[in-house]
Each structure stands twice: as C-alpha cells, then as structure tokens.
Structure 1
Amino acid sequence: MQNGKTVVIGVIGADCHAVGNKIIEHALKEEGFNVVNIGVLSPQEDFINAAIETNADAILVSSLYGHGEIDCRGFREKCNEAGLKDIILYVGGNLVVGKQDWKEVEKRFLDMGFNRAYPPGTDIKLSIKDLKKDLGIEE
C-alpha cells in the first residue's frame, strides 16, 4: 500500500557499493514509499535534480567507502539553493575513514544540515521508522 511519499536514494561520490542500495530500495518499497533510485557513483546534483523532478519528500544518501563526509559537504546548502529547503536529508553507512567516535561523526553530519545520520550496520527498519516519524506517516 502506497503512503504517498517519494524518496530519492543513491550512493554518493566515487562509491560503487550497489548491493546495500538495492536492499534499501526493496525495504522502502515494502513500506509503501515511492522510491527513485539514482544508483551508485552519484554526485550531489543528481540527488537534488531527482528530488526536484519527482517532488520528493526526502533524500537518503548512502556511502560505504569512507569518504561520505567529504562527498556530503555543502549538500544542504545546494538543496536550499535549489528550492528544497524543507526536504528531509538522511545519510548512512561507513561515512568516514578509520575508527572515529560515532557521536562526533554524527554531530558533524547534523551540523552539515542532515536530519539524521546512521552508523555502519544500522538496521534499515530503524531508518524507516524514523523516516515515517519525520514525514508524519502514521504507523
């Protein structure tokens, strides 16, 4: 059953990890989301353009190769400039290189304008629960 909400998903930057992206797509569709999957190796502009074209409610960014922090810098500002000031932004995966305190990593992404950031190994069910809450979908 569709919930009327559209989400754009993809893997940012030079990251080509496709399997997790497909799992996320499947899980979101099972929960009634209209999913626009832009795939792997995606620059910020592809996420933003897809969100504009589909009138998306949220953008979910994945990164597994450790350079997500670099790839995501300025993302919220670009969304704002494109007229997407209210879009929900999530990011998750192996976002930084090396062992770093997750709370510090999360804070950096929240400070960059992401609504939520998830560490490696987060169950997609948690992200979907948060997304429904943030989008006002009754459970």
Structure 2
Amino acid sequence: MTRTVVLGVIGSDAHVVGITILEQALSANGFDVVNLGVQSSQDEFVEAAAAHDAEAVLVSSLYGHAKQDCEGFHQRIADADLEDVTTYIGGNLAVGQDDFEETRQFFRELGFDRVFDSETDPEEAIEALRADLDMRSSEAERESQSLSA
C-alpha cells in the first residue's frame, strides 16, 4: 500500500535543497510525495493533505522562523477534520537555537508528532515515519475490528 505524504517549506522560507533531498529519499522508499515546494502557507499544507488523503504532513523550515510560521497550524488541521494526519517538522527551526531539546519541546506542544534538527539524516525521518504510520494503521485496524465485533 502506497503511503501519501505532503512535503513543503512553510512561510517565507525559500530553502529548497532539504525538501528536494527528502522528496527523493521518500519516493525511493515507496512513498507517494506531494511536494508543495517553498514559501507554502499553512492552508496549502492542509488543503493538499485533504485533497490527496495524505497520511502525513512534513514541514520544513531553515530560516529560523518556524515558531511564527507554525502558530495555529494544528488548529487548521483539526478544523479540516485531519486530526489523524501525522505531522513532522524539521530544519533550523528557531533563530539563535541553542538547546534543541527546548525547541523540540516547543514544537511538540504545538502538536507536531516528531521534531527534527537540520542535521537529521533523511533515512532517520523515513524510519520514524514508517514506524508512526504502521502504528497508526495497527490502531485503526484494531478499532475497526472491535467495532465490527
């Protein structure tokens, strides 16, 4: 079963290299990738996730302003009835970021399932995504079995 993911760079950020590498790695690993490109709005991510029945949304940001760009993002996801979509964010997420664990905690509190720094290898993110999506599929299967019982 092919898994669809939406990938893009949020806000006014124009850094394309990271998502290009990630798109190639995801595609090579069997994912169907919808690449929004750079300078994508929150609404574009949400609309693409809904239109393509995506299982995950991967947000990239390298210019250090992701905190501002992602404020309210998960509310938009909830408003679109996409609460089951797995969300990841990665990159250089905060200007002057000294302690990445603080940054990770901030984005987890915003609602992101996983938070990666700019040094993360694409394979690490893909491994995490496979695990998260398989876990979610198993939960959905158990739920549907219990509903039919």
Q: TM-score range by the shorter chain?
A: over 0.9
Residues in 2 aligned to 1:16 and 1:104: alpha-carbon distance in whole angstroms:
25
* Partner of residue 88 from structure 1, selected from 83, 86, 89: 86
- 2:40 is paired with a residue whose SS is coil
Structure 2: runs of 5+ lacking an equivalent: 136-149
* TM score, norm. by length of structure 2: 0.88
**Within 2, Cα distance between the matches of 1:117 and 1:69?**
12
1:97 to 90, 95, 98: 95
TM-score (norm 1): 0.95
Name the structure where strand makes up a greater proportion of residues.
Answer: 2
Give the percent of matched residue pairs that are identical in Structure 1 and Structure 2.
Answer: 47
Aligned equivalent of 1:61, options 59, 62, 75: 59
Partners of 2:36 and 2:97 lie apart in 1 by 29
- How far, CA to CA, are the matches of 1:35 and 1:75 in structure 2? 20
- Provide the secondary structure at the position in 2 that maps to 1:8: strand
Q: Report how far residue 100 of structure 1 moved.
A: 2.3
- Whether 1:121 and 2:119 are equivalent positions in the alignment is yes
Aligned length in residues:
135
What is the one-letter code of the residue matched to 1:58?
A
SS of the equivalent of 2:7 reads strand
Structure 1, unaligned runs of 5 or more = none
Residues in 1 aligned to 2:118 and 2:18: alpha-carbon distance in whole angstroms: 11
Cα distance, 1:99 vs structure 2: 3.2
Shift of 1:21: 1.1
2:50 is matched with which residue?
A: 52
Cα shift at 1:20: 1.2
**Would the aligned equivalents of 2:97 and 2:103 in 1 still touch at CA under 8 Å?**
no
Structure 1: 4+ residue segments shifted above 6 A: none
Report the 3-state secondary structure (helix = DSSP H, G, I; strand = E; otherwise coil) of the residue aligned with 1:11. strand
Q: Equivalent residue for 2:77? A: 79
- Does structure 1 residue 25 correspond to structure 2 residue 23? yes
Tell me the SS of whatever aligns to 2:84: coil
Residues 53-99 of structure 1: per-residue CA shift (max 9 Å, x gap): 00000000000000011101111111000110110000000000003
Distance, in Å, in 1 between the alignment partners of 2:97 and 2:130 is: 31
